[in-house]
Amino acid sequence: MIEKVVRRPLRGGRPSRGQAQEPVERILETATRLFASRGFAGTSIDQVAAICGAGKDTIYRRFPSKVALFEAVVEHARARALAQVPDLSAIDGEPLERLERLLRIFLTINMEPDLIALKRITFSEAVVLERAGPAVGQPDPLMTRLVDAVVTAQQAGSLGAGDPEALAAHLIHALVSIPTTDAMLGGATYAAPDALDAHFTTTWQWLLRGVSGRGN
């Protein structure tokens, strides 16, 4: 006869890392949707708590203010964006092709509605968010990957010599910042995929060939 074993629930002990992260992820996902759809002023901790099912005390223990919660939402969005960007070694093609593909990935990610909405809030609520104190500068891993791609293309002779960080910044501005700024300001110039692709293709060709026409 096999004796029946009664399993008693364990008491005490710390929750696993995954269990501890579950409410935080739920809070951040809910706050992202609310900030993106209602703006900073139109979103409250009460609303986040009611929709995500977490108590206000639970939220305030992790995020002591609405500004702190918004900053955490922005960092969460940046982490998700970084997760979508492959390492340069994972992109096929010659160095210049890999740089182009990486920039296209950047453009696609930055045009995501939630990121556009969060950028709009960051700019429109700059005075409010400044009350949290200046952020400590940290290296941007997305820009680091882009700079590495520029350096690789330069070493292959596909791009001219020059400061790779400055070159990467100009590429981002011309190819990514123009359409994302238009979207952030409520424009629809690049809303259609064909329009966005045409912008990238035309601008990329101008950057590579120059606009004077003297080299053609």
Tokens of 53: 């099912």
pTM of the model: 0.79
Alpha helix segments (H runs only) across the chain: 17-38, 45-52, 56-62, 66-84, 95-110, 113-124, 126-130, 141-155, 164-172, 178-184, 193-209
What is residue 20's predicted lDDT score, i.e. its pLDDT? Answer: 46
What is residue 23's predicted lDDT score, i.e. its pLDDT? Answer: 87
What is residue 129's predicted lDDT score, i.e. its pLDDT? Answer: 64
- What's the CA gap between 199 and 205, in Å, rounded? 10
- What's the CA gap between 27 and 32, in Å, rounded? 8
Considering the chain, what percentage of its residues have pLDDT values greater than 70?
81
What is residue 7's predicted lDDT score, i.e. its pLDDT? Answer: 35
Q: Are 81 and 43 in contact (CB under 8 A)?
A: no
DSSP letters of 27-83? HHHHHHHHHHHHTTTT--HHHHHHHHT--HHHHHHH-SSHHHHHHHHHHHHHHHHHH
Whether the CA torsion 115, 117, 120, 121 is positive or negative: it is negative
- What's the CA gap between 141 and 197, in Å, rounded? 25
pLDDT digits (tens, 9 = 90+) for 123-176: 887 656 665 544 445 568 889 999 999 999 999 999 999 999 999 999 999 999
Amino acid letter, residue 210: G
Residue 1 clears pLDDT 80, i.e. is over it: no
